[in-house]
Structure 1
């Protein structure tokens, strides 16, 4: 069966600083029509950063959409025309005060394919160097740096302090590589 939905018309219904929302009228595989609300996102990167002491670097920050504070791996939005690896290094430096000469691509994944096209490119490094001078965060960004072991991170997953997919994936990825 062909599952493709043909777009008959598309209407932009919102355009913000980060996302756009469009309403598409589609023809379904069975010939009937329906509508789809789609969030368009420029994409993002996330970085699994491990210190020489075998600790994972996390940032603690408030997430307004959830009305709660989460512990996450460093991450950020792709800027227009920017390659994911460039974004990853920039976000690592801004959010953590570390840099690296070795950033390895792990994978990419869609965050919510039922209604959004956001893709996250995931990188890792264990070759961190402290910056002499920490870079500035975005003016509306407030984070607290944390360095945790795998077992500490797993406890935060159980407590739902780590409660986003990219970060839970990162912890499982490191465990699958034998990190303890």
Structure 2
């Protein structure tokens, strides 16, 4: 299966869609993680507070509950959106990171409604696909893209075989340059 099985959003469309969500801190943080961190909708819903590490180079564990475990550095814009949302929450480490988005259908509906308001034909998967397209266009090695987005099967999910340390920092920089604000 190809990495992109349908046309991706343009960079401008992805930016417009993300910007449309900025009035809702929860949705803005979730869409930022999909666009600037490569998270799948299911990974957004399954993440817990302790999966997220704020700070200099913010990192998050994704896919913990369904077998595609990986820890990646996320773009600073995504980290700022998540941090802003978390300041409004009184959450324990084992609670959902994005409270209310555990059902992927909810996230699907919210993103679709935001896309309609933004005048963009997009769904929840469009954000991740736009991020993958941006990484491909930037010339990132396919092995780095597969590791960052959790596409390939790896022996060691923390340090995938054949992928140099820091590959995720470079990927986060690429996504920040393309989609960050």
Please indicate, yes or no, whether the TM-score normalized by the shorter chain is above 0.5.
no
Q: TM-score range by the shorter chain?
A: under 0.3
Q: Name the structure where helix makes up a greater proportion of residues.
A: 2
TM-score by length of 2: 0.27
Larger radius of gyration: 1
Q: Name the structure where strand makes up a greater proportion of residues.
A: 1
TM-score by length of 1: 0.27
